[in-house]
Amino acid sequence: MAGESPPGFGPAPATGAALWALGFIAPVTASAFAVAWDPGAPPLVRAALLVSGIGGSLLVGWIGGRRILESLRTVTDLLGALREGDYGLRGHVRPGHDPLQGLIAGVNELSDELRHGRLVRTQASRFLAKTLVALHSAVIVVDGNGAIRLINPAARRLVGAERRAVVGLDPGTLGFAEAMAAADGSILSHRFAEANGRWAVRRATWYSDGRQHTLVLLHDLSAALGEEEHRAWQRLIRVLSHELNNSLAPIGSLADTLSRLLERHGAGIPQQELAAGLEAIARRSGSLARFVGGYGRLARLPPLSVQPFRLDIALSRMARLEQRVPVVVEGHDALVVDGDEDQLGQVFINLLRNAAEAALLTGGGVSINWYADAGEACVQVVDEGIGLPRSDSLFVPFFTTKQEGSGVGLTLVRLIIEAHGGSVGLADRTDVRGAIATVRLKLAS
């Protein structure tokens, strides 16, 4: 509690020290006063008084010295035990106001605190050890010299070292070199001695006893990716089945109708009915071909070829390509981004084409603007069209509201922009009818 002092500290030790000093000098002082008080006393009496006073003081000093040495010896033994890690040894504290007894009590309290701290650390270490054993993710800890200091069973299983002593070895000798060099948050495709797959890498660095330690965790993504791939295939098959049935059923029905007409009329089949049937078959076949081609476009998206380029110049050039409606260029800022100019060009061509097609239905116009904002290039394509459809599936593959649309344009836009670390959004205008497409990309450093 505040204001209280442990034994041996505060006012009590000061009082004890004063009492010891008084006990040491009191006999000499008393005998000196007695001799001075009676100057006519015989010399032998005066000598006896002085000798008794000195002897009493020496006796008190000898007793006090022994107690001090015993207390110091006890403190020395306690400190030696603490130095050896023995926190169970306790010193006996005698009652009274001896300041050295307060020191012994303080060392006892220090032992209790150290023992409690070691108990807490031991419990935490046991909990951590059990957690690492239970983890299915591989965990490796290395020191500043690159030697393994901790490895859990999951990591041992990756390299077939369940029964080998590997602590102190270089992780590269076990096949962990690439994993130890991988950046935090990266995805590593690697074949270990006992497993092959993709691994999410997480790493942390800290210092203990002035030495650097690094922890690397490898989380196997194969199971999660396998489940997601399975669901993706299911969705793909459902979409393909639905679209193929929607196209093939009418084609089959029309072909059957034309076949019956031929059987009934022969060469005199009505040309108008024949042309209408063939036209319907051609239209449905074309829609099916565009649909299947859309899947091919998504699957064949090439890897990025990233290099810095002037985005504003590219946007001005693409705005001039749209001739169906006037496109007003409002941007003036010079913007440099790191990216694939060809793929980003396809993004803005798609957005301008969508804006123009919407504006054609209302006789409106299209504008494009760009500017720098908080380290990003912000590009807005604004139209005076019919606005966005009431749906949250605009970026879903093969969703379309156009009669001849394939439903892959906006999907490609999102895939390309997200591959560049940017974002894309669509919103209705609040001032007049129309829509706004907003793309944000990081500016080149």
Residue 30 pLDDT > 80? no
Question: Which tokens in the block code for residue 134?
Answer: 């239970």
Q: Measuring CA to CA, how many Å separate 141 from each of 145, 167, 190, 209?
A: 11, 10, 19, 15
Are 323 and 432 contained in the same domain? Answer: yes
What does the alpha-carbon distance between residue 321 and residue 323 come to, in Å, rounded to a whole number?
A: 6
Percent of the chain with pLDDT over 90: 6
* Residue 6 domain flag: no
For residue 2, name the pLDDT band (cuts at 50, 70, 90): very low
**Boundary (domain end) residue, out of 198, 220, 242:** 220
Q: What is the pLDDT of residue 33?
A: 54
Residue 58 pLDDT > 80? no
Q: Read off the CATH number of the domain in which 155 is found.
A: 3.30.450.20
Are 143 and 210 contained in the same domain? Answer: yes
The distance of Cα 201 from the centroid of its chain, to the nearest Å, equals 11
Rounded mean pLDDT, 328-353: 86
* Residue 130 domain flag: no
What does the alpha-carbon distance between residue 184 and residue 402 come to, in Å, rounded to a whole number?
A: 44
**Boundary (domain end) residue, out of 299, 318, 347:** 299
pTM over 0.75: no
What does the alpha-carbon distance between residue 227 and residue 232 come to, in Å, rounded to a whole number?
A: 9
Domain enclosing residue 405, as ranges: 307-442
| Torsional sign, CA 30, 31, 33, 34 | positive
Of 178, 186, 176, which is closest to residue 151 (Cα–Cα)?
A: 176
**Boundary (domain end) residue, out of 119, 153, 180:** 119
Are 313 and 432 contained in the same domain? Answer: yes
Are 32 and 58 contained in the same domain? Answer: yes
Are 175 and 153 contained in the same domain? Answer: yes
SS3 271: helix
Q: Is 54 exposed, middle or buried (0-12, 13-18, 19+ CB in 10 A)?
A: middle
The distance of Cα 161 from the centroid of its chain, to the nearest Å, equals 29
Q: Of 25-29, 58-62, 250-254, 272-276, which range is least confident?
A: 25-29
| Mean pLDDT over the full length of the chain | 75
For residue 23, name the pLDDT band (cuts at 50, 70, 90): low
The highest-confidence range among 5-19, 58-72, 351-365, by mean pLDDT, is 351-365
- Our count of domains for the chain comes to 4
Residue 37 pLDDT > 60? no
Question: Which tokens in the block code for residue 144?
Answer: 């500043």
Rounded mean pLDDT, 209-238: 73
Residue 8 pLDDT > 50? no
Query: Are 435 and 427 in contact, with CB atoms under 8 Å apart?
Result: yes
Residue 326 pLDDT > 70? yes
Question: How many CB atoms within 10 Å of residue 25?
Answer: 14
Of 169, 166, 181, which is closest to residue 145 (Cα–Cα)?
A: 169
Q: Where are the alpha helices (DSSP H) in 2-98?
A: 11-37, 43-83
Q: What is the pLDDT of residue 310?
A: 92
Residue 9 pLDDT > 50? no
* Residue 41 domain flag: yes
Q: Read off the CATH number of the domain in which 414 is found.
A: 3.30.565.10
Query: Are 317 and 350 in contact, with CB atoms under 8 Å apart?
Result: no
Are 292 and 394 contained in the same domain? Answer: no
* Residue 1 domain flag: no
Residue holding tokens 């031929």?
262
Residue 422 pLDDT > 60? yes
Are 386 and 360 contained in the same domain? Answer: yes
* Residue 5 domain flag: no
Residue 327's DSSP bridge partners are: 366
